[in-house]
C-alpha cells in the first residue's frame, strides 16, 4: 500500500473496542457511504473483561464490527485497559498514528462517563493532546522522524446514555444516520462477548437515543456530536434544505 492510499479522511478514537460503534458507528458508516476513507483507533484491546475468554476473541469481534461499518483501517494500540492514563508516552503513541494516517477530521469521546469506565475520560484528554502533538515541529526525536501533520477539525461523540440532555459543552448538532442505523446496530451486536442476550438493553438504549436526537433534527435516526469551536455556515440554504 502506498503512503497516499493509506491516508484516511476521518479517524474515530475510542478507549475500547465497541466505544466508537456505540457513539458514532452510524456516522462512520455514513461517511464511508459518501466516499470518505475512514478509520478507527482503539487505545486498548478492552481486556480483561468479564464475558470475553481473551483478547484474541475481542479483537476478532472488533474486526467484524469494522467490516460491518465498512471502515478502511482499524488500529489497536497496546495501552492498558482499566489503567489508561493521559501520559506523554501515550499521547505520542496516538499522535504517531495521526502522523502516519494523516486524517483531516478526528472524532473523540466527548465527556466523562460516571459509574462507567474512567478510561473514557482519559481517552478524551489523550485524543485532544495527540491532535495537538501531531502538528508540532522541531520534535523529530519524539516521532521517529515522521513528518508533522495538522488535523483540520475535531469533533466529539457521546457515550452518555443516562441523560436526556445534549452534551454540556455546547456547539452540538445531529448527524443523519437513517440510512446506516442498521449497520450501527449490527456492529454493536458483533461484540457477542460484551452484549450477550441478557444485555440486549443496549440496543434499546441506542435506538431510543438515535430516535430522540434524530427526530429532534427532522431525521428518522441521528447521532449527536459537538464541536470545540463554534460552527459557522457559508451556504445557509444548502445547510437548511440540502
DSSP 141-190: GGTTTPPP----EEEEE----S-SSPPTT--EEEEE-GGGHHHHHHHHHT
Q: How far is CA 90 from the centre of its chain?
A: 17
Residues 22, 205 contacting (CB under 8 angstroms): no
In this prediction, the residues of the chain whose per-residue pLDDT falls under 50 are 1-4
Helices marked H in the chain: 19-33, 55-69, 88-101, 119-134, 181-189, 201-216, 236-241
CATH superfamily label, 10-241:
LmbE-like (3.40.50.10320)
Position 2 scores a pLDDT of 38
Return the sign of the alpha-carbon dihedral for residues 70, 71, 75, 81: negative
Annotated domain spans of the chain? 10-241
Amino acid at each position: 500500500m502506498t503512503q497516499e492510499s493509506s491516508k484516511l479522511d476521518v479517524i474515530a478514537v475510542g478507549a475500547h473496542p465497541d466505544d466508537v460503534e456505540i457513539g458514532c458507528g452510524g456516522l462512520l458508516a455514513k461517511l464511508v457511504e459518501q466516499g470518505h476513507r475512514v478509520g478507527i483507533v482503539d487505545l486498548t484491546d478492552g481486556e480483561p473483561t468479564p464475558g470475553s475468554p481473551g483478547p484474541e476473541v475481542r479483537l476478532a469481534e472488533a474486526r467484524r464490527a469494522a467490516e460491518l461499518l465498512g471502515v478502511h483501517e482499524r488500529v489497536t494500540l497496546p495501552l492498558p485497559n482499566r489503567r489508561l492514563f493521559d501520559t506523554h508516552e501515550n499521547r505520542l503513541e496516538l499522535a504517531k498514528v495521526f502522523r502516519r494516517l494523516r486524517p483531516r477530521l478526528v472524532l473523540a469521546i466527548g465527556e466523562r462517563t460516571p459509574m462507567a469506565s474512567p478510561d473514557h475520560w482519559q481517552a478524551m484528554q489523550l485524543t485532544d493532546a495527540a491532535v495537538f502533538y501531531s502538528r508540532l515541529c522541531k520534535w523529530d526525536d519524539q516521532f521517529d522522524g515522521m513528518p508533522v501533520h495538522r488535523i483540520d477539525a475535531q469533533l466529539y461523540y457521546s457515550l452518555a446514555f443516562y441523560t436526556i440532555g445534549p452534551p454540556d459543552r455546547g456547539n452540538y448538532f445531529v448527524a443523519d444516520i437513517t440510512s446506516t442505523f442498521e449497520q450501527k446496530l449490527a456492529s454493536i451486536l458483533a461484540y457477542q462477548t460484551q452484549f450477550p442476550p441478557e444485555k440486549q438493553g443496549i440496543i434499546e438504549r441506542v435506538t431510543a437515543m438515535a430516535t430522540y436526537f434524530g427526530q429532534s433534527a427532522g431525521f428518522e435516526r441521528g447521532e449527536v456530536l459537538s464541536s470545540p469551536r463554534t460552527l459557522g455556515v457559508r451556504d445557509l440554504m444548502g445547510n437548511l434544505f440540502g
